[in-house]
Structure 1
């Protein structure tokens, strides 16, 4: 350990700083598939906000880059760390400090696993609504860093909609509290929203005050198959046009259905696209009947249920989508969003793109909010064709009036596209904000903006 790291180690408890090669390699990567050219300088396993502050004060004084990290489930390269940097591992800060049922809120540390928070809330009749696909693995702090979404976004919003306040540490080690414990509040600039989704480039989250919601009294589930992906996308739009507010509205294309069939066997799918919908709350039964009525107009087969066991069987198809595709080899899990009215156009264009380039694309979507996930199969494909396919997906999103990322973040993988979406002036403002909060540029450099 160098003298520089020895100085850091003296500031922290024994064992908090590690330079073990296997740990450096493991914690320098996330699920994006990005591989740094060289390992980081060290890993700091922080157990408290004071240790985070000490680490950042040390790094600031020495101009050493710091990469905050939760569980490493990110898909945009936002938690990758290369030569000369220090990984700040927050997974050990994993306490649920309080659940206050009377106020409908929870106070947590950033390393709390998302699904664990939801389970703790449900024990007192509440729920934590944000539900990214990685909820059993991802941390609340990581979800806040990327403003993560999930299946229930269509009704309950993304992570940021559940964040009331944050405890953070700035780049120089200064502690700061933002937001409040009340549902409403407009005093001063909304620093909480600014920091949520900033991907660790403005501050390090060391605590959060989060909104909890009542557990739904009832749930209804519907599923339908369609002859074409365009018909399925149009049916999703029709559900929303009917005035129903589903809690889940998901779409899978035919290529994804075929991958699921190969994984689990059984009867072949009844169509070339699949839609799953759920409703919840006191009116769930009436709402799911209304959803089913819309879906069955154009579906090859449609069914619905209010029974939990039958619902699980319908949900199984959606849950198998990602593992079924990933077993085929290395895939790039892309993440765009388009206006809901353009979902059918996006699905049609992605299918045509796959035909044109010869690169397989498996598409599923949070149809209720226009968030499309084209999974590009890179295994065994020409690398140049794969790159062009991914670039064209981003171009498509922007042509349709959408965004290059709906919930995964920019990280390293999409930085080159940020100006095309934001524009020169908006990007200049974002960089000025970065310079104001992190003037030395040590917090997660070369990420997000």
Structure 2
């Protein structure tokens, strides 16, 4: 085809159609639809496969291996770094959508949307701790692939802290359940012996590289798959820890005269054990129209979901800012959280479209007491390159989302800034990505962050589970520079319109 030619041989497509009970689609309009996600990148797959069930997934992976074709699982397409974009076979996991609740655990298919899971768990008075700001639109498979966290990660952790079992298909077509498979578990334990722990990020959450550091025993070997972005296996389902929904909550909105003042106060705020501690800077406040006093430069949203009066008393004793609002009324709290969850939207409309850059420095995390240093690095970038940077994020976990505003045609400068930022973040004991994943944006910087010994351990893990190199290639392990390679300047086709097909749904 003129715009998006198919590179896969017709005989392979026939094999897929014969083997797969679900859909096998090659229409250009459908492939263009799947060429985009929530990022600034675009890669057109050659074929879109929508497996009917787990058997279809196994068959698709086996064919991909036999024919040396890349195969990449895709959830809801909300990723911000192109993690689910690749050539070859795009595997839409939406039909693996079962949910089974058993006490404090839920077995969840990777295609289940977060919104659907919330509705099921809500009927049982339960919830899942991690809560990405994109809300109900992301999939559980994507949350696992990126080690999603969200605002509640300060208390409840990321996905790696909330999963007890994972079933997946590796690059040879083996269906594996960890930690149940102790033989494979022993092999993973050997891999953990290869890592240099001195070079690991000293942060509360991390989505960079492979999480060999979280595997302390055979009972934790499944954690290696969390944050692996479909490069070690196609996740089919997972057992997740779920918790009781809090009966009561209280929200404080704290105003500060500068971001530095807010960051300096954060360690003490975190010490009061909030269920959320979120930051919004003055750029976003100017778009949100919250009716704040002119002297307020930024705000923290601090929420508690237990021992409310005790927590409130502790908070009042340590804050250096001003209490803008406090409430235990759910409607009022939702109003504030709606604005926080719209921060990405506000950050986009605050920037001219020609100055919107890829999400490549926007997900770093550092130890909470080093966030002032993180702001200093960002200010240095602004001074050196004449840029502007919008900041918001999960500061209770040391995770600041930084949206870079600059001429997006200056790709060499974008790449230079990303490399410099990653180096400086690593010096602070931080990670280049806390919850968005490496994708195209930061895979090339993983070795810089972790050092050669750890990177060799990651490559060994990749070879073990994906010996043919077909699972989402050039993510996590790559010799290429991909940060600006697949940028989509327009993100549109055919005169600004993208033709959609009912067959895609």
TM-score scaled by structure 2? 0.80
Which residue does 1:69 correspond to in 2?
A: 74
Which residue does 2:252 correspond to in 1?
A: 222
1:185-264 superposed matches below 5 A: 188=218, 190-240=220-270, 243-261=271-289
SS in 2 for 1:168: strand
Distance 1:391 1:353, change over 3 A: same
For residue 4 of structure 1, the aligned residue among 6, 12, 23 is: 12
- Residues 104-126 of structure 1, C-alpha deviations (whole Å, 9 max, x = no match): 11111111011321221121111
- The offset of 1:7, in angstroms, is 1.1
Which residue does 2:400 correspond to in 1?
A: 372
- The offset of 1:186, in angstroms, is 8.1
The answer on whether the counterparts of 2:366 and 2:399 sit within 8 Å (CA) in structure 1 is: yes
Range that drifts further, 365-374 or 21-30: 21-30
- The offset of 1:269, in angstroms, is 4.8
1:382-401 superposed matches below 5 A: 382-401=410-429
Asked if 1:318 corresponds to 2:340, the answer is yes
Which 4+ residue blocks in structure 1 deviate beyond 6 angstroms? none
Which residue does 2:165 correspond to in 1?
A: 165
- Residues 277-324 of structure 1, C-alpha deviations (whole Å, 9 max, x = no match): 00112x0232134224422xx224533222223323433442332111
Range that drifts further, 109-118 or 370-379: 370-379
Which residue does 2:58 correspond to in 1?
A: 53
- The offset of 1:399, in angstroms, is 2.3
Aligned pair count reads 429
- The offset of 1:336, in angstroms, is 0.2
Stretches of structure 1 lacking an aligned partner (at least 5 in a row): none
**Distance in 1 (alpha carbons) for counterparts of 2:309 and 2:122:** 22
- Residues 186-209 of structure 1, C-alpha deviations (whole Å, 9 max, x = no match): 873632111111111111111111
**Distance in 2 (alpha carbons) for counterparts of 1:393 and 1:259:** 27
1:68-217 superposed matches below 5 A: 68-82=73-87, 85-96=88-99, 98-101=100-103, 104-179=104-179, 188=218, 190-217=220-247
SS in 2 for 1:78: coil
Distance 1:307 1:286, change over 3 A: farther
**Distance in 2 (alpha carbons) for counterparts of 1:380 and 1:405:** 21
Stretches of structure 2 lacking an aligned partner (at least 5 in a row): 1-8, 181-214, 478-505
SS in 2 for 1:332: coil
Asked if 1:417 corresponds to 2:445, the answer is yes
The answer on whether the counterparts of 1:359 and 1:389 sit within 8 Å (CA) in structure 2 is: no
**Distance in 2 (alpha carbons) for counterparts of 1:433 and 1:339:** 27
Instruction: Between the two structures, name the one with larger relative contact order (CA 8 Å, sep ≥ 6).
Output: 2
For residue 465 of structure 2, the aligned residue among 426, 432, 437 is: 437
- The offset of 1:78, in angstroms, is 1.3
The answer on whether the counterparts of 1:202 and 1:443 sit within 8 Å (CA) in structure 2 is: yes
The answer on whether the counterparts of 2:65 and 2:468 sit within 8 Å (CA) in structure 1 is: yes
**Distance in 1 (alpha carbons) for counterparts of 2:326 and 2:266:** 15
SS in 1 for 2:476: coil
The answer on whether the counterparts of 1:68 and 1:79 sit within 8 Å (CA) in structure 2 is: yes
The answer on whether the counterparts of 1:258 and 1:269 sit within 8 Å (CA) in structure 2 is: no
Which residue does 1:287 correspond to in 2?
A: 311
The answer on whether the counterparts of 1:292 and 1:302 sit within 8 Å (CA) in structure 2 is: no
The answer on whether the counterparts of 1:78 and 1:448 sit within 8 Å (CA) in structure 2 is: no
- The offset of 1:57, in angstroms, is 1.2
**Distance in 1 (alpha carbons) for counterparts of 2:444 and 2:217:** 35
SS in 1 for 2:238: strand
The answer on whether the counterparts of 1:60 and 1:440 sit within 8 Å (CA) in structure 2 is: yes
**Distance in 2 (alpha carbons) for counterparts of 1:349 and 1:177:** 42
Distance 1:228 1:170, change over 3 A: same
The answer on whether the counterparts of 1:162 and 1:210 sit within 8 Å (CA) in structure 2 is: yes
